[in-house]
Amino acid sequence: MNKVLVFAVHPDDETLGCGGSLLRYKANGDSINWLICTTVDEDQSVFSIREKEIETVSNLYNFDSVHNLRLKTMRVDEYSFSDLIKMISKVINDVKPNIIYLPFKSDVHSDHRKIFEAAFSCTKSFRYPFIKKIYMFETLSETEFAPSTQHENFVPNTFVDISTFMDKKIEIMKIFKSEISEHPFPRSEKNIRALGAFRGASCGCKYAESFMLLKEIF
């Protein structure tokens, strides 16, 4: 059985980046675990709405565990690197995943870049020998706005057929009502399906999610 840990810098990243894959893992009897890194820093009503959304999404995925670092959203760079590593390392050691999903290292959002950097520092094989696979996922509204230079491009090398799970992925994404809107907004149902169809065309299926495999240990 696989034990998967997905890093959601902001709630909804897990669904945009690998929601279909998470559902597929769960259908196969694997353990899926959700690490939410940031929380909204707004009035109590907005906070309460987001907390209810997280609870609903957690139930829809049937996550085996949910962890929340409750960092200040859009202000992750205010935390020291050592503090981020300490918090992330604790969750990784508690879950002991063999598969980890991280945000793309060059996403335009600074929160994504900081979390990637700290999280990847917590994957050294001599300290975390249980980690066998590390992937980066693409996040609509963040990954496609990375600088168009050679080392900042998202170049997938792994594809997962999520044709059976696309409708539920969309259903879950719609729980985050403030994060989805109509086309041409990046996080629209039309764009989520379009990206899934495009990635599916790359591997011969109706819908797919794509990833960059950073490390695989046999």
What is the DSSP secondary-structure string of 49-73? HHHHHHHHHHHHHT-SEEEEEEEET
Task: For residue 42, name the pLDDT band (cuts at 50, 70, 90).
Answer: low
Query: For the chain, what percent of residues have pLDDT higher than 90?
Result: 90
Position 15 pLDDT exceeds 90: yes
Mean pLDDT of 3-23: 98
Position 118 pLDDT exceeds 90: yes
Task: For residue 151, name the pLDDT band (cuts at 50, 70, 90).
Answer: confident
Domains of the chain (ranges, CATH numbers): 3-216 (3.40.50.10320)
Instruction: Return the H-helix or E-strand segment holding 32.
Output: strand 31-39
pTM for the structure as a whole: 0.96
Mean pLDDT of 111-133: 97
Task: For residue 141, name the pLDDT band (cuts at 50, 70, 90).
Answer: very high
Task: Give the model's pLDDT for residue 165.
Answer: 98
Position 41 pLDDT exceeds 80: no
Pair of tokens at residue 36: 């939410």
Least confident range from 51-65, 140-154, 155-169: namely 140-154
Least confident range from 23-32, 132-141, 174-183, 208-217: namely 174-183
* Exposed/middle/buried for residue 144 (C-beta within 10 Å: 0-12, 13-18, 19+): middle
Query: Within 10 Å of residue 53's Cβ, how many Cβ atoms?
Result: 17
User: In sequence order, which ranges of the chain are alpha helices (DSSP H)?
Assistant: 13-27, 44-61, 81-95, 110-120, 166-173, 189-201
Identify which of 145, 154, 110 has the alpha carbon closest to the alpha carbon of residue 10: 110
